[in-house]
Amino acid sequence: MKTPESKPPFDLEDRTYEFALRTRLFLRDHAWHRVSWEDVRQLLKSSGSVAANYLEAREAISDEDFIYRLRICRKEAKESALWLNLLSDTNEVRSEAEAVLKSLLAETDELVRIFTASIRKKETNR
């Protein structure tokens, strides 16, 4: 596995795992305001769900199941962006962590685009 600061892997299984891992490392290294504890908890769940549902998609039993799981991946990536933005807007993020936060937000956007393109391609090819 690559280090958390490395370029995202091409393999989506690795990439979604890295996203969940990098999110956890980012969250672990901060003392969040009490009002943000639920946001932290939700971000932990949604970032892990992206990876878990991609694993499920890879083992899909039908095209419909595959598309359904990718839609969940996309939804959870969008949700992760929401929690990251809320944490950023309600806490003082240390300057050295700002780059990590921005990269996590960029990754959510890229994952949403990848899942959207995959869904469209699979729907077109059915």
Q: What is the mean pLDDT of the chain?
A: 92
Count of structural domains within the chain: 1
Collapsing DSSP to helix, strand or coil, 25 comes out as helix
CA 88 to chain centre: 16
Q: What is the pTM of this model?
A: 0.88
Whether residue 7 is contained in a domain is answered as: no
Q: What is the pLDDT of residue 31?
A: 86
- pLDDT tens figures, 42-79: 999 999 999 999 999 999 999 999 999 999 999 999 99
Whether residue 83 is contained in a domain is answered as: yes
Domain of residue 77, CATH code: 1.20.1440.60
Q: Are 15 and 56 in contact (CB under 8 A)?
A: no
Residue 96 pLDDT > 60 = yes
C-alpha distances out from residue 1 to 13, 26, 93, Å: 11, 18, 27
Whether residue 3 is contained in a domain is answered as: no
- pLDDT tens figures, 8-36: 445 999 999 999 999 999 999 888 889 99
Whether residue 2 is contained in a domain is answered as: no
Find the mean pLDDT for residues 84-104.
91
> What residues make up the domain containing 61?
12-124
Whether residue 4 is contained in a domain is answered as: no
Query: How far is it, in rounded angstroms, from Cα 76 to Cα 49?
Result: 6
Tokens 């892990």 correspond to what residue? Answer: 48
